[in-house]
A = this chain, B = another copy of it.
Amino acid sequence: MNIGVLGTGVVGQAIGGKLVELGHEVMMGARAAGNGKVLGFAARTGGKAGTFAEAARHGEIVFNCLRGDVALDVLTAVGDALDGKILVDISNPLDFSGGAPPALSVSNTDSLGEMIQRGLPGARVVKTLNTVNAAIMVDPARIPGRHAVFVSGDDKPAKGKVMDILRGFGWREIIDLGDITSARGPEQFLPLWLRLWSALGTGEFNIAVMRRD
């Protein structure tokens, strides 16, 4: 499948590399053509390098691996290219302006996932994977047990396709939380994630949802 990856950081590199490994035609997009991280990705993985707009046009599915504070601006700038496409939103609305640990730039009665869906009404936004670090996103077997990843979105077929990709990454426990407003749940999990990271001294963890037998 043709897949676009927007963002060149740790998350974009992990997602893009895994998708290439799984046989997809991946184009990673950066702000500027010739960006060193995108060229490095192409050289290392055999994927393609492009701009944000080129990667958005290339993908039948597009992954938002941008920083939360720039995601909405970049996505709306390439908006038309995303019409009708599945937009997988992995970003977190972290606000470091008040120091560490970061607060959220949007929370409680709204979420970045909803803002992106409102900003791109033609896209089929699915929020997922924002609750684990990049290594676990694409290799959940790093962590023992039936730990969980969540999906939120208004479009059920889009969620189904994203769940197929997640299964390809190795995820066994995928919990559909509901429509895009349910993205508030996993986004507001981040403050607990950050405190756990501090308490455990590692980001190599995830939560499992244990139910009564």
Contacts and interface: CB of A to CB of B under 8 A. Distances in A.
Interface residues of A, number: 42
Given A188-B192, A204-B211, A103 B108 contact: yes
Most buried by B among A104, A107, A189, A212: A212
Interface in A194-213: 194-196, 198-200, 202, 204-213
This chain's copy number in the assembly: 2
Nearest to A146: B210
A211 B207 contact: no
A191 interface: yes
A188 B195 CA distance: 12
- Secondary structure at chain A's binding surface: helix, strand, loop or mixed? mixed
Contacts of A199: 175-178
Interface in A153-186: 175-178, 182, 184-186
A147 interface: yes
Interface of A: 98, 103-104, 107-109, 142-145, 147, 150, 175-178, 182, 184-186, 188-189, 191-196, 198-200, 202, 204-213
